[in-house]
């Protein structure tokens, strides 16, 4: 019995280690693009001003095209996606609730400035769609892209409302205008309507749309690296640790629970766990700065979240996925 037991333990350890290594290898292309963006921005004439324009191009044109195309290219069966949608919304509401309640936890309020929390709460639950789509394709192919496109489609409106609301409460800009101008909301809403209406992209246009989508992923990942900043994180450390703990540790655990609760398929569970462990949205600091908050501090959180994603994604996909 002891030898057999030992062999089984060694086998489990080997498979777990192999899975962890494979997922690390799977993530390398995306994070290498982030690193390239960081190095190019810091050490060439293509500085932050240039990458700010690249990010605008991706955010307002290329990525909405990719998102729309990902949703419309395969007929969407809402009944088969209903459990995934329910799991995504449950995960989202838990993340939003945890982020909102931080200043009211015992001993936390005195360490968090109201405006800093309003700008930073979004970091705890928003996600980097560029990395999500690239990773889903590598994990599960076209089906993975479709499932994560569904999650993006149903969660982006909810998460953007939740991101804008605290800043609108403590600032002077209304959140309705911010929402109706959000290109990701417009792309996902129009994509869902077009899919349900039976619309398909013409064959002659499909190659162009595919090339725009490929460009959005590569440029989006490089722009995320170019936007990384650390300097502003010296203050409000308690807030930083809190929102990043929610984003990279608590939400993957919640995702595992809701995947079992909603009875997700193996592919959907993999996509759900990847979705829960993604770095936060690189546009968090753009939104904070545009609404009159400290964009530099939020950019520091985005930077740390991008780096922590290299730990949380293998944790979610290589460790939690085994349960």
Spell out the domain ranges in the chain. Answer: 21-226+233-322
pLDDT of 89 reads 96
Task: Rank 61-75, 92-106, 127-141, 143-157 by mean pLDDT and report only the highest.
Answer: 92-106
**Residues 6+ positions from 87 with CB-CB distance below 8 Å:** 255, 258, 259, 261, 262, 264, 268, 272
Q: Is the pTM of this model over 0.85?
A: no
pLDDT of 178 reads 66
What does the alpha-carbon distance between residue 111 and residue 243 come to, in Å, rounded to a whole number? 13
User: Which residue, 200, 226, 180, is CA-closest to 68?
Assistant: 200
Averaged pLDDT, 311-321 = 89
Fold entry, domain 21-226+233-322: Na+/H+ antiporter like fold (1.20.1530)
219 pLDDT above the threshold of 80: yes
* Mean pLDDT for the chain overall: 83
Helices (H), the chain: 2-43, 48-57, 63-72, 78-101, 114-120, 129-170, 175-180, 183-196, 206-226, 237-245, 251-261, 266-276, 284-290, 295-314
pLDDT, tens digit, 9 for 90 and up, residues 238-294: 899 999 999 999 999 999 999 999 999 999 999 999 999 999 987 787 778 777 788
Q: Which residue has the tokens 């037991």?
A: 5
For residue 160, what pLDDT band results from cuts at 50, 70 and 90?
confident
For residue 36, what pLDDT band results from cuts at 50, 70 and 90?
very high
12 pLDDT above the threshold of 60: no
pLDDT of 87 reads 97
Token pair of 9 as six digits: 């333990």
Query: How many beta carbons lie within 10 A of that of residue 238, not counting itself?
Result: 13
Query: How many beta carbons lie within 10 A of that of residue 7, not counting itself?
Result: 10
For residue 44, what pLDDT band results from cuts at 50, 70 and 90?
very high
pLDDT of 8 reads 46
What does the alpha-carbon distance between residue 114 and residue 289 come to, in Å, rounded to a whole number? 16
Task: Rank 51-55, 69-73, 201-205, 280-284 by mean pLDDT and report only the highest.
Answer: 201-205
pLDDT of 273 reads 96
pLDDT of 263 reads 95
pLDDT, tens digit, 9 for 90 and up, residues 71-96: 787 676 777 789 999 999 999 999 99
Residue that wins the pLDDT comparison between 86 and 18: 86
Averaged pLDDT, 305-312 = 89
């Amino acid at each position: 019995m002891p030898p057999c037991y030992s062999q089984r333990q060694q086998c489990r350890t080997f498979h777990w280690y192999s899975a962890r290594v494979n997922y690390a290898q799977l993530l390398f292309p995306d994070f290498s693009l982030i690193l390239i963006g960081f190095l190019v921005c810091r050490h060439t004439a293509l500085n932050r001003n240039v990458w700010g324009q690249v990010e605008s191009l991706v955010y307002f044109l290329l990525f909405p095209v990719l998102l729309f195309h990902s949703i419309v290219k395969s007929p969407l069966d809402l009944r088969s996606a209903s459990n995934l949608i329910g799991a995504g919304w449950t995960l989202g509401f838990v993340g939003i609730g945890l982020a909102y309640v931080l200043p009211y936890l015992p001993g936390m309020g005195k360490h968090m400035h109201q405006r800093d929390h309003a700008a930073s709460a979004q970091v705890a639950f928003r996600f980097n769609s560029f990395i999500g789509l690239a990773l889903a394709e590598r994990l599960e192919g076209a089906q993975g892209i479709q499932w994560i496109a569904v999650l993006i489609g149903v969660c982006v409106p909810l998460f953007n409302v939740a991101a804008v609301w605290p800043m609108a409460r403590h600032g002077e800009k209304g959140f309705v205008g911010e929402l109706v101008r959000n290109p990701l909301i417009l792309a996902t809403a129009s994509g869902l309507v077009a899919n349900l209406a039976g619309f398909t992209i013409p064959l002659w246009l499909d190659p162009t749309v595919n090339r725009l989508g490929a460009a959005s992923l590569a440029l989006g990942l490089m722009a995320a690296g170019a936007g990384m900043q650390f300097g502003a994180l010296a203050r409000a450390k308690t807030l930083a640790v809190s929102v990043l703990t929610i984003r990279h540790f608590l939400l993957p655990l919640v995702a595992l629970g809701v995947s079992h609760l909603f009875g997700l398929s193996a592919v959907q569970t993999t996509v759900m766990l990847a979705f829960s462990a993604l770095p936060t949205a690189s546009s968090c600091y753009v939104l904070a700065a545009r609404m009159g908050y400290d964009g530099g501090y939020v950019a520091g959180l985005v930077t740390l979240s991008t780096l922590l994603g290299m730990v949380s994604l293998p944790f979610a996909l290589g460790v939690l996925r085994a349960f």
